[in-house]
Structure 1
Amino acid sequence: MSQLLEEQVIQLEGRIAELESAAAPLILHDPYESWRQSQAAQRVAQPAQPQNEHLHSLMRHFFKYASEAGFFLNVARFLQYISSFRSSRHPYHVSALLNIIYLLGAQFSGNIQSQSQQSGFLSRALEAIPSAMSDTSSPSIIYVLQTEILLTHYFFDNNRSTEGNYHLKAAASIALACKLHQIRTSRPSTTASGGLWYRLNPPADRVEEGERINAFWTVYILDKCWGVLLGSPSVFTDDESKGTQIDVPWPLDMGGYESEPSPAGWRSTRTVQLFLQNPGPETAEQSILALHAKAVSLFVSANDLALRWNPASSTFQASFNHLSNRIEKFRKALPSISHIDAARVDVVRSLVTIHILTCCTLIKLYEPMELRVASSSGMSWNAAQYALSALQKLNLSVIQYINPVVLLIIVSNVFVCGIITARAQNAINTSNLSTLLAPLGQILFALDKWRSKSPLSGRQRSILERTSATL
């Protein structure tokens, strides 16, 4: 395995730098192709190594969807680091992370034989984590954090929400213990009473600091989004009195950390709160991860405000109007999916998720008002149509997976409610029924395409199919 990864590092570094550079065109193809071609002659002369080839294939499948699963490490440095160990003597933190990468690679492969091996990879990853946790220094704990994030994704995507929530809380707790929420904070350093703080070394350079910034926002997105969907409390309460205030800068693409060093004295404070309060226009240049984190922040705010629904209160009404306008400004400022190079499939997938999430934010905000009655003139209906428009821009023969699919059920519920409303008003006839059902059919078609790589897609499809059958 060590020799395999050493070869990968040599062949991939130039390619990875191109893929991660914000300025370079992102043309995605098999990044291992040149390496495999260079090894062709040796394969003829030497016996094959099926295990190494298989693991190589699983890693390749994983990195096609690494950003969707929450991989925040610099890929080139990750490959260099793991190649420095002999395969038979991987430290626990490397073994845990590699096995979860193989696990997700097996799932993303869509290959039944590879997918049947998932339990073995999962067992080895889980077995290695307790020993890896005993080393509370970097990079071990950062690798454990990365492993917990990938495990969170795996369990939620495999309809195992209890285990997913457990590993999500573990990841969030590690992020807080490492003070990743206070990177470059302008406030005096504080330590919560009774808290265990991991002793991370100061980042060696801007890229390593960027990994930690992106790690925080990756966990933040998971914690906030799944907290709303599951109705569970967030770990990141953004409360100064509890030491959980979020003062970390918005994330950049990895290429940004490599090419844009920030001033040494630059500091950040109240990152999310200032974004939510800001009435002005959005800045044009933002990373995909930053857009996702901002969309999730709005999603949580809309859900919280809807739970406190009180239109008779002038204070509530002012907050409602401000947030509604804030969400709309954010939605209109999002990059158009149509303007993205179709070859940049990772960007397309992420942008579609962000567009749909933003539409679901509007749906959540207006849910108390329009929960039982949906009309074509309502905000929820318009938001669902915007989400459907984003979905229609996908080439489903190329986009074979998207995350998180659960948001499509929020969109579907609006269309279902609209049909029920129209039926109650005797506004449905044979000529318009097919038109009303068409959005649900398009969502079902997309979920059907994705279910080979995502059990959650299959489950959501089954739920929606049963609901559609009753309309």
Structure 2
Amino acid sequence: MNQQVSFPADSRQTLQKGRACVNCRRRKVKCDGAKPLCGPCATCPSAFSDCEYTANGRSHSQILEEQISILQTRIEELERPDQPRSFVSLSKPIINRQPFSPSSPTNTIGLGPLLSQFHLQQKMSICPNHPSAQSMPTELPFFVLQALVHNFLHSASCFGFFLDTQAFHDAVTSRHGRRLPPVLMNVMYLWGVHLSKDDRITAYEPAFLVHALRSTAGSLSGTHPRTILHSIQASVLLAYYFIRNGRVLESQYHIAAAMSIALSAGLHRIRSPRGERPQEFGEERPPPLCSTAVEGERISAWWSVLTLNNCHGSPSNVSYGECGLRIDTPWPLDMRDYVEHPHLLPSQSSETVTKFLADVPDNARGDTALHAKASILFEEAMRISSRGDKRDYLHDIDILDNRIDALTASLPPIRSKRMLVVHSLCHGATIQLHRPFAKERMCSFLKALAAARVIVHTITRTDVPKLGLVDPVLALLWSSACFALNAGISRRQGNPKSCYSEAEVSDGVEVVIRAMEVFAPHCRLMNEKLNAVRRAYFEGPKARKDSE
């Protein structure tokens, strides 16, 4: 296949103006453009480890400096409350009620024309891209907020949104509905800004992030009857936000926060035979479950948190088995089924995950339940593969391998983005389970390679450019498939009798690379994984062979 590739910069070539790294520009040193660490930074006595380039936008350190500046400005405002405020007030979620369809295109309400109208009305004279431009008006008008709401809700399912989307939309857009707490609104606005492609909006993303983080600090002290759910949802959305932006440590913090709140509220014991029910914060008794839909949101909340933890929480915050966490909450249903088919929920439920891992049959076949099951198998594969002497766990590996194969065989065809993630998680679990043994056991090598090839086949049958936004876990799964395929190239060169030709394996890597290139410009995690794949592929055995 013909594939346009990017090779590392040649140190003998003269870089174009503005292409040098940030450190070399500050020190006025000639930069060779090498990545991830240029020559001058590598040889400097102080050994710069933050060699960054700004050709594709601001560097991470510049973003952090801007955020620090914003926080310092906020501290000064708190110290001098009599001075005019420079931050945006996000306390007016009262906008016109309109019907909402999650399947509508993401550009139903464009931010560009609305923002242009707003700028014209306000006669703004300061460019928002200017470093000192913290002067957005003190209150965004309802039509801009409405655009942010829609931008977020149309893609919310990709980022762990478990609340009833239609009910949430009605609550936000109704003039007479109950006002939602600031923590959830501010996080939603942050996502709306983040997903916008208008530079005049995204320029304010750091300010919206500050608002969102500040509101989470005291979210559990609210008096709203759904404080627990809203706080969990805000933490889940923030975790996905940081995951998408490649900020691992901050994402781990919010994953742990969401899991801690969910466990403290007892969401893992819903419909438990031990009579325990989830509690809301600040109440002496658990409130009555007024409807199956309300209970369904709590069930979905638990599995959304656990799925997030299983796919991105490394090291995991929970463990299963005899000494692990006992989860009694029944498998989740798709949101509409809680209302239309409440009989699908069992009257009592116990040891849900333990029974699943033991291959006890159940009737949970919805997309949401399959997503949760696949994430559990993926997390178990991660746990086993990270153990020390893996020869002591061959029996566990065989059991889990059979369980992954059984779930994979039962999956329905891919007809949604969620099912694309489910299929990828199952094959990714196989890769993760067998990769540590690939050099020692031919059967493990072939198993991981076969799973990677299935991911490639799935991508080729998917119209990737039309997917829009996707779950960031695909960055991890697709890159792991590339690494397994790249190992296949090395093994093929050492064993010409391998069942896969080098051309087949190479073509598979390039298919995945092209798919990742679709999302890399707008997802920092995907871009980081893509760069790692390119380094392993183009600088590996194939590149050396081509140069001979």
TM-score by length of 2: 0.69
Tell me if structure 2 keeps the 8 A contact 1:137–1:201: no
Partner of 2:167: 77
- Pairing 1:48-197 to 2, within 5 Å after superposition: 51-83=141-173, 94-135=181-222, 138-189=225-276
One-letter amino acid matched to 2:300: N
Residue 223 of structure 1 and its aligned partner are, at CA, apart by: 1.1
Partner of 1:290: 369
One-letter amino acid matched to 1:58: L
Once the two structures are superposed, residues 72-116 of structure 1 have per-residue CA deviations (whole angstroms, 9 ceiling, x without a partner) of 1112221333346799xx97x622212211222222233333322
Query: Structure 1 residue 445 and structure 2 residue 520: aligned?
Result: no
CA 32–421 in structure 1, closer or farther in 2 if over 3 Å, else same: closer
Tell me if structure 1 keeps the 8 A contact 2:435–2:484: no
Separation of aligned partners in 1, 2:150 and 2:238: 18
Query: Structure 1 residue 368 and structure 2 residue 450: aligned?
Result: no
Residue 165 of structure 1 and its aligned partner are, at CA, apart by: 0.5
Q: What are structure 2's unaligned runs of at least 5 residues?
A: 1-91, 123-138, 541-548
Determine which structure has greater relative contact order: mean sequence separation of CA pairs < 8 Å that are 6+ residues apart, divided by chain length: 1
Once the two structures are superposed, residues 27-84 of structure 1 have per-residue CA deviations (whole angstroms, 9 ceiling, x without a partner) of x324996x99xxx9xx9xxx89984333222222222211111111112221333346
Tell me if structure 2 keeps the 8 A contact 1:225–1:299: yes
Once the two structures are superposed, residues 290-310 of structure 1 have per-residue CA deviations (whole angstroms, 9 ceiling, x without a partner) of 111100111122233334576
Residue 371 of structure 1 and its aligned partner are, at CA, apart by: 4.8
One-letter amino acid matched to 1:126: L
Tell me if structure 1 keeps the 8 A contact 2:437–2:444: no
Separation of aligned partners in 1, 2:508 and 2:444: 13
Tell me if structure 2 keeps the 8 A contact 1:252–1:287: yes
Residue 240 of structure 1 and its aligned partner are, at CA, apart by: 7.8
Once the two structures are superposed, residues 195-249 of structure 1 have per-residue CA deviations (whole angstroms, 9 ceiling, x without a partner) of 997646333211111001000000001112223xx3x132x3347878x420001
One-letter amino acid matched to 1:175: A
When the two structures are aligned, how many residues end up with a matched partner? 420
Query: Structure 1 residue 237 and structure 2 residue 319: aligned?
Result: yes
State the secondary structure of the residue aligned to 1:67. Answer: helix
TM-score by length of 1: 0.79
Separation of aligned partners in 2, 1:32 and 1:372: 51
Partner of 1:220: 306
Query: Structure 1 residue 417 and structure 2 residue 500: aligned?
Result: no
Output the aligned Cα RMSD. Answer: 3.5
Residue 164 of structure 1 and its aligned partner are, at CA, apart by: 0.6
Once the two structures are superposed, residues 89-148 of structure 1 have per-residue CA deviations (whole angstroms, 9 ceiling, x without a partner) of x97x62221221122222223333332221111111111122322137631221111111
Counterpart selection for 2:104 from 20, 29, 49: 29
Tell me if structure 2 keeps the 8 A contact 1:279–1:326: no
Tell me if structure 2 keeps the 8 A contact 1:374–1:421: no
Tell me if structure 1 keeps the 8 A contact 2:307–2:375: yes
Separation of aligned partners in 2, 1:436 and 1:154: 33
Residue 279 of structure 1 and its aligned partner are, at CA, apart by: 5.8
Residue 406 of structure 1 and its aligned partner are, at CA, apart by: 1.4
Query: Structure 1 residue 382 and structure 2 residue 447: aligned?
Result: no
Tell me if structure 2 keeps the 8 A contact 1:375–1:421: no
Tell me if structure 2 keeps the 8 A contact 1:109–1:453: no
Choose 113-122 or 141-150, whichever is displaced more. Answer: 113-122
Separation of aligned partners in 2, 1:363 and 1:270: 27
Structure whose residues are more often helix by fraction: 1
Tell me if structure 1 keeps the 8 A contact 2:321–2:354: no
Residue 423 of structure 1 and its aligned partner are, at CA, apart by: 2.7
CA 76–440 in structure 1, closer or farther in 2 if over 3 Å, else same: same
- Pairing 1:274-289 to 2, within 5 Å after superposition: 274-278=355-359, 283=363, 286-289=365-368
Residue 264 of structure 1 and its aligned partner are, at CA, apart by: 9.5
CA 214–422 in structure 1, closer or farther in 2 if over 3 Å, else same: same
Partner of 1:24: none
Query: Structure 1 residue 330 and structure 2 residue 407: aligned?
Result: yes
Q: Identity percentage over the alignment?
A: 25
CA 254–371 in structure 1, closer or farther in 2 if over 3 Å, else same: farther
CA 100–265 in structure 1, closer or farther in 2 if over 3 Å, else same: closer
One-letter amino acid matched to 2:422: I
CA 267–455 in structure 1, closer or farther in 2 if over 3 Å, else same: same
Partner of 1:345: none
State the secondary structure of the residue aligned to 1:61. Answer: helix
Choose 350-359 or 451-460, whichever is displaced more. Answer: 451-460
One-letter amino acid matched to 2:486: V
Separation of aligned partners in 2, 1:291 and 1:367: 24
Tell me if structure 2 keeps the 8 A contact 1:375–1:381: no
Once the two structures are superposed, residues 375-415 of structure 1 have per-residue CA deviations (whole angstroms, 9 ceiling, x without a partner) of 89711111111111222222123112322121111111101
CA 376–422 in structure 1, closer or farther in 2 if over 3 Å, else same: farther
Once the two structures are superposed, residues 142-198 of structure 1 have per-residue CA deviations (whole angstroms, 9 ceiling, x without a partner) of 11111110000001110111111011111100101111000111125499xxx9976
One-letter amino acid matched to 2:488: G
State the secondary structure of the residue aligned to 1:414. Answer: helix
State the secondary structure of the residue aligned to 1:62. Answer: helix
One-letter amino acid matched to 1:396: V
Counterpart selection for 1:407 from 470, 474, 477: 477
One-letter amino acid matched to 1:29: S
Partner of 1:272: 353
Tell me if structure 2 keeps the 8 A contact 1:110–1:453: no
Residue 331 of structure 1 and its aligned partner are, at CA, apart by: 0.4
Partner of 1:344: none
Tell me if structure 2 keeps the 8 A contact 1:138–1:201: no
One-letter amino acid matched to 1:172: M
Tell me if structure 1 keeps the 8 A contact 2:227–2:281: no
Tell me if structure 2 keeps the 8 A contact 1:82–1:94: no
Larger Rg: 2
Tell me if structure 1 keeps the 8 A contact 2:520–2:526: yes
State the secondary structure of the residue aligned to 1:133. Answer: helix
